[in-house]
Structure 1
Amino acid sequence: MLLVVLAFAVLMLLGMPVAFAIAISGALFFLQNLDLPTTIPVQVTVSQTQNFALLAVPLFIIAGNVLNRAGITARLLALATVIAGRLRGGLAQVSVVLSALMGGVSGSAIADASMQARMLGHEMVRRGMTRGFAAGVLSFGSLLTPVIPPGIGMILYGSIGQVSIGRLFAAGFVPAALLWVALAAAIAATARVRGYPPERTAAPTLAEAAGALKGGIWALLFPVFLLVGLRMGVFTPSEIGAFAVVYAVLVGAAIHRELRGRSFAQAMEQSLTDVGAVMFLIALSAIFTYGIVLEQIPDLVSGALTAVSEDVTVVMALIVLFVLAIGFFVDATVLIIMLTPVFLPLVRSLGGDPVHFGLVFIIAATIGNFTPPVGAAMYAVCSILRVPVGEYTLESLPLLAAVSAATLLLVLAPGAVTFVPDLLFGPG
C-alpha cells in the first residue's frame, strides 16, 4: 500500500488531474496483488455510482446552478450589505456574509469563491484593499458555503459513513455562525490596522432592511424547506434533491422571472460539467478505497491514534490537525471520500458522535481548498484577481489561523454542533 500512496503523491505533484491520479495509483494495488481478479477495479468503479443516496449530489448541483441564474445572487448581495455594511472592513465583511447566504444555493466553496471574485474582487481592490487580502477574504469566506445545507461534502460523508444527512444539514448552522465570527474578527483587526472603512456609515432604514429581506427571502427559505421536508418524513435525501431542482426552477421562472431559455440552458451546461467532474472522481475513488479496506488501513490508523490517547476529544483534535496538514496537498472532496471510512469507525468506537465529527472533519478538509500548493479555490480567485500565490498566502495567514482555531474549538464543543439536530430530530 505504501507504493500506492507514493504513486498518488508523485502524480499529484506532477499536476495530474486528481481523478486520474487516484485511479492509476489505485490500479497499482491490483498489479501488486495478482491473486485478485482483474475485474474488481471495473466492478467497484461501476458499483460506486449505483449508491442511491448519491443521487442527491447531481440534483443539488443542478438546483444551485439554476438558482444562480435566477437572479438570487444580486438580491443576496443587497441583503448582505444591509447585515454587514457597517462592520469595519467594508466589502470584505459583506463578502463573508454573502458566502453564508449563498450556502443554501451553491453548496460549493470553489463555485462561491469564483463567483464572488468576479462580483466583488476588483471593487474591493478599487476601494483600497490589497489584492492579496481581497483574494484571501474571498477564498476563505467561501468556507461557510459548504457548511450551510445543502453542502455536497455533507452528502458524500453521510452516504459513505451511513450518517443521517438530515442531521448533518441541521448541524451546519452553529458552526457556520462561529466561522463567520472568526473571519469577521480577523478582517476587522486587519481593517483597523490598515484603515479600511465600513461599506456604509448609516444604519439601514427599516424600509431598506425589509426590501433586502424580501429580495432574498426565497433563497433563505431554501435550506429551511429542505430541513422541514426531511424532518417531517416527506422526502428522503435523494427525493429532496429533486424537490430542490423544482423549487429552483419555480423561483427563477415564476417568482423572479429571470430564468429564461438561454439562462436555463447555461445552468444545465454548467451542471453537466460540475456533475461529471464530481461523479467521475467518486467513481474512480472506489479503486483506491478498495485497497484501503482490504489492507485494513482503518485498523492500523485506529491503533496508532489510540496508542496516543483513547479520549475521543484528543483523537478528534489529532485527526483535525492531520486533515489540516494533508489538506495542503489533497483536494477536500478526495479527503472526504478516502478518509471517512478510515476515521469514522474509530470515532464511533470511542463513543464520538458521527454528526459532530462529520462537521469538523468536513470543515477541516474544506480549508485545504484555500491553501497552497493545490487549493482549487485559491487558484480560482488568484487567477481572476491576478494575485501571486506568495502574496495571497502571506495575506491569508490571519484568516487561516482564525478558521483553524474555530475548527478546533468545535472539537471541544460537541453540543454546539449537535444542538440543532437534537432539537429538530431528537437526540441522536
Structure 2
Amino acid sequence: MTLVLIVFLVLVALGMPVAFAIGISGFVFFLSQDLDVNIPAQVAVTQTQNFAILAIPLFVLAGNCLNETGLTRRLLDFASALTGHMRAGLGHVNAVSAFMMGGVTSSAIGDATMFGRVLGPAMMAKNYAPGFAAGVIGTSAIITTMVPPGTGLILYGTLGEVSIGRLFVAGVVPGVVMTLLIMAAVSITARRGDYPRERDRRAPLAEVLRTGVRAIWALLFPVILILGLRFGFFTPSEAGAFAVAYALVVGALFYRELTWARLRRALSDTVVDVGMIMLLIALSGGWGYALTWDRVPQTIMDVLLGISENPTVILLVLVVSLLVVGMFMDSTVLILLLTTMLVPVAEMIGLDPIHFGIVMVLTLTLGLLTPPVGIVMLIVCQQFRTDVPTYLRQSVYLWLALLALVVLVILVPGTTTWLPELIY
C-alpha cells in the first residue's frame, strides 16, 4: 500500500488529473501483488453497480433543474427580508440563503461560485473588505454540505453502508448551528469594521410572508425528502428520481421559467458534473480492494489504540489528520478514498457511524477553504481579487466559528444523533 500511495502522490504532483492518478496507482497495487490484472476492471465496474449511487446523478440533475427555475432569486429575496436590516446584511443574506439553498445546489464549490457572482458585486459596491467578502462567500458555502441532499453524505453512506436517510437528518442540526455561528461572526466583524445596514429598518411582516411564499417550493424540497425517506415512501435512489420530477413540475408548472433552452443547459451541466464524480467512484475501486487486502483499517485501529482507548481522543486525532489531508486534496476524492478505510475503524472503537460520518464530511469539506489547494478558497479569492493571506486575516472570526462547530460536534455527539433518533 505504501507503493500505491507514493505513486499516487507523484502523479498528482506531476499534474495528472486526480481520477487517473487514483486509477493508475490502484492498478500498480495489483501488479506489485502479482494479482490477476482483470480484477481492477471488474472492481471498477462493480463500484458503479451499487443501486444507491444512482441517487447522485439524479440529485445533481434535480439541483441543476431547480437552479434554472428562478429559485435562487426567490430565496435571496426571502433571506434579504429576514436579515437585510442587520449590519453587513449581505453577509447574513448569504449565510441564510446558503442554508436554504443546500437542497438545491448540493455542492460547496457550486454554491461559492454562484453566490460570488450574485452577491459579490453588491458587496464590493458597499465597500466590504475583499478578504472578508471572500470569507463570507466561502464559509457560507460549507453549509451546503450539511443540508440534504449533500453529495458528500450520499457518498459516505453508500461506501460505508450507512443509512443515507439518517445521515440527511443528522446534518440538519449542525447545518443550523453553522449558519448561526457564521452570522455571529459576520456581526462581530461588521461591528468592528463599522459596516452599514442594507435596510434602514426590519422588513414588514407582510414582505417576509410574501417572499417566503414565493420561495416555498425550495424550502419544502429537503423536508419532503427527509419525510419520504423516513416513512419509506422511497429509497435514496428513488428519492433522487422524485427530486428530478419535483424540479421539472415546479419549474414548468408553478414558476413557468424552465424553458427548453434552460433544460438543455441543466442537462449539459449534469453530464459534466456526473461524469467527473462517476469516474472518481469507478477508479477508486482499486484503492478499496487494496485497503482490504492489506488490512489497513486494522492497522490504523492498532495505531490509534496505542495512543488512547478513549473514543473522543481517537476522534480528535482523526479530525486533525483529516484537516491536514484536506489541505492538499479535494474533499470528494478523500471521501471516496477514506470512507472504506475509516468506517470499520470507527465502528471497532465504538464510534457511532452516523456521528463519525458528519464529523468526517464536515472536516474534509473545510479543506476546500484552506491553503494551499482549497478549491473554494481559490475561487473566492479570484472573484474578489485578493490574496490568500488577506483572505485568512480578514476572515478570522469566520474561521473561529467553523472551528467552534467542529469542536461542538465532536464533544457533543447529540448534535448529530438526537434528530435521527427522534425521527427514526
TM over 0.5: yes
Letter in 2 for 1:22: I
The aligned counterpart of 1:21 is 21
Equivalences for 1:23-38 in 2 at 5 Å? Answer: 23-33=23-33, 35-38=34-37
- Please identify, of 245-254 and 283-292, the stretch whose mean Cα deviation from structure 2 is larger: 283-292
Aligned mates of 2:14, 2:203 — CA distance in 1: 52
Pair 1:424 & 2:423 matched? yes
Alpha-carbon distance, 1:228 to partner: 1.2
Alpha-carbon distance, 1:375 to partner: 1.5
Aligned mates of 2:191, 2:287 — CA distance in 1: 48
Alpha-carbon distance, 1:59 to partner: 0.2
- Please identify, of 44-53 and 87-96, the stretch whose mean Cα deviation from structure 2 is larger: 87-96
Pair 1:8 & 2:2 matched? no
The aligned counterpart of 1:292 is 291
Aligned mates of 2:372, 2:13 — CA distance in 1: 9
| 2:233 match: secondary structure | coil
The aligned counterpart of 2:392 is 393
| 2:103 match: secondary structure | coil
Alpha-carbon distance, 1:319 to partner: 1.2
| 2:116 match: secondary structure | helix
| 2:215 match: secondary structure | helix
| 1:351 match: secondary structure | coil
Pair 1:189 & 2:194 matched? no
Aligned mates of 1:418, 1:80 — CA distance in 2: 28
Letter in 1 for 2:5: V
Pair 1:265 & 2:264 matched? yes
Aligned mates of 2:377, 2:236 — CA distance in 1: 31
Letter in 2 for 1:13: A
The aligned counterpart of 1:244 is 243
| RMSD between superposed Cα atoms in Å | 1.4
Query: Residue 323 of structure 2 contacts residue 366 of structure 2 at CA under 8 Å; is this kept in 1?
Result: yes
Alpha-carbon distance, 1:116 to partner: 0.5
Equivalences for 1:257-336 in 2 at 5 Å? Answer: 257-336=256-335
Aligned mates of 1:149, 1:411 — CA distance in 2: 20
Query: Residue 154 of structure 1 contacts residue 168 of structure 1 at CA under 8 Å; is this kept in 2?
Result: yes
Aligned mates of 1:144, 1:76 — CA distance in 2: 15
Query: Residue 334 of structure 2 contacts residue 364 of structure 2 at CA under 8 Å; is this kept in 1?
Result: yes
Aligned mates of 1:69, 1:387 — CA distance in 2: 30
Query: Residue 372 of structure 1 contacts residue 393 of structure 1 at CA under 8 Å; is this kept in 2?
Result: no
Aligned mates of 2:390, 2:276 — CA distance in 1: 30
The aligned counterpart of 2:350 is 351
| 1:76 match: secondary structure | helix
Alpha-carbon distance, 1:119 to partner: 0.4
| 2:284 match: secondary structure | helix
Query: Residue 86 of structure 1 contacts residue 201 of structure 1 at CA under 8 Å; is this kept in 2?
Result: yes
Alpha-carbon distance, 1:401 to partner: 2.9
Equivalences for 1:150-169 in 2 at 5 Å? Answer: 150-169=149-168
Q: Can you list the C-alpha shifts for 1:335-366, whole angstroms capped at 9, x where unaligned?
A: 11111122211221222211111111110011
The aligned counterpart of 2:226 is 227
Query: Residue 229 of structure 1 contacts residue 240 of structure 1 at CA under 8 Å; is this kept in 2?
Result: yes
Alpha-carbon distance, 1:7 to partner: 2.4
- The structure-2 alpha-carbon separation of the partners of 1:397 and 1:301, relative to structure 1 and needing over 3 Å to count, comes to farther
Aligned mates of 2:340, 2:155 — CA distance in 1: 11
Aligned mates of 1:385, 1:74 — CA distance in 2: 22
The aligned counterpart of 2:43 is 44
Unmatched segments (≥5 aa) in structure 2: none
- Please identify, of 40-49 and 236-245, the stretch whose mean Cα deviation from structure 2 is larger: 40-49
The aligned counterpart of 1:362 is 361
Alpha-carbon distance, 1:94 to partner: 1.1
Query: Residue 320 of structure 1 contacts residue 408 of structure 1 at CA under 8 Å; is this kept in 2?
Result: no
Aligned mates of 2:19, 2:36 — CA distance in 1: 22
Alpha-carbon distance, 1:398 to partner: 3.3
- The structure-2 alpha-carbon separation of the partners of 1:12 and 1:188, relative to structure 1 and needing over 3 Å to count, comes to farther
Query: Residue 60 of structure 2 contacts residue 270 of structure 2 at CA under 8 Å; is this kept in 1?
Result: yes
The aligned counterpart of 1:173 is 172
Aligned mates of 1:325, 1:411 — CA distance in 2: 17
TM-score normalised according to structure 2 size: 0.97
Aligned mates of 1:369, 1:48 — CA distance in 2: 25
Letter in 2 for 1:175: P
Query: Residue 103 of structure 1 contacts residue 146 of structure 1 at CA under 8 Å; is this kept in 2?
Result: yes
Query: Residue 85 of structure 2 contacts residue 203 of structure 2 at CA under 8 Å; is this kept in 1?
Result: no
The aligned counterpart of 2:112 is 113
- Please identify, of 372-381 and 382-391, the stretch whose mean Cα deviation from structure 2 is larger: 382-391
The aligned counterpart of 1:63 is 62
Aligned mates of 1:259, 1:24 — CA distance in 2: 41
Identity %: 47
Aligned mates of 2:407, 2:345 — CA distance in 1: 18
Query: Residue 104 of structure 1 contacts residue 150 of structure 1 at CA under 8 Å; is this kept in 2?
Result: yes
Residue-pair matches, total: 424
Letter in 1 for 2:388: V
Unmatched segments (≥5 aa) in structure 1: none
The aligned counterpart of 1:199 is 198
Aligned mates of 1:373, 1:122 — CA distance in 2: 26
Aligned mates of 2:388, 2:11 — CA distance in 1: 21
The aligned counterpart of 1:89 is 88
Alpha-carbon distance, 1:85 to partner: 1.7
Q: Can you list the C-alpha shifts for 1:283-324, whole angstroms capped at 9, x where unaligned?
A: 111122221221111111111111111221221122111111
- The structure-2 alpha-carbon separation of the partners of 1:181 and 1:275, relative to structure 1 and needing over 3 Å to count, comes to same
Q: Can you list the C-alpha shifts for 1:196-239, whole angstroms capped at 9, x where unaligned?
A: 12322311111111111111110010011101111111101111
Alpha-carbon distance, 1:388 to partner: 2.8
Runs of 4+ residues over 4 Å off in structure 1: none
Aligned mates of 2:154, 2:221 — CA distance in 1: 16
The aligned counterpart of 1:208 is 207
